[in-house]
Amino acid sequence: MASPCLDSGSLFQSVDADAAAIKAQQVQMGASTLPQYVANRLLALSVVEYVFVSRQDEAYQIWTVVNVASEEEYDAIYSEEARIIADLQSVYFDFHVITRSNRALRDIVTFSCQGWRKSR
């Protein structure tokens, strides 16, 4: 199975980017890098276990991993993704959610990008 961090089939959510807007958004994020900032926001949701981020061309691929989730929990993930897009309007994002369903993550996908795991 190909690494999901190398996927290029999904549509990107974005608006036109310019260097000044990206620099202003980096100031808003403080010391965090953009991948770390996005990961921290998604990991704040109780259902999220892992977040993997890679940059492909001009877009960030974001892979959010949950074990199992209710419809309301998926809605919370999608709402946070929408807020991230709204907050960082000049950055291209391609979001994905992977449901483990009690399987080991390594049995489902292989990641070749930076990742964060929820502290236990």
Q: Which domain holds residue 113?
A: 4-117
Distance CA 81, CA 39 (A): 11
- Mean residue pLDDT of the chain comes to 78
Distance CA 40, CA 106 (A): 22
pTM above 0.75, yes or no: no
The proportion of the chain whose per-residue pLDDT surpasses 70, expressed as a percent, equals 72
- Tens of pLDDT, residue by residue over 54-73, are 888 889 999 999 999 999 99
Distance CA 53, CA 108 (A): 17
Confidence of residue 17 (pLDDT cuts 50, 70, 90): very low
Q: What is the CATH number of the domain that holds 58?
A: 3.30.300
**Cross-strand partners of 116:** 51
Number of domains in the chain: 1
What is the helix (H) or strand (E) element at residue 29, kind and residue range? Answer: helix 19-29
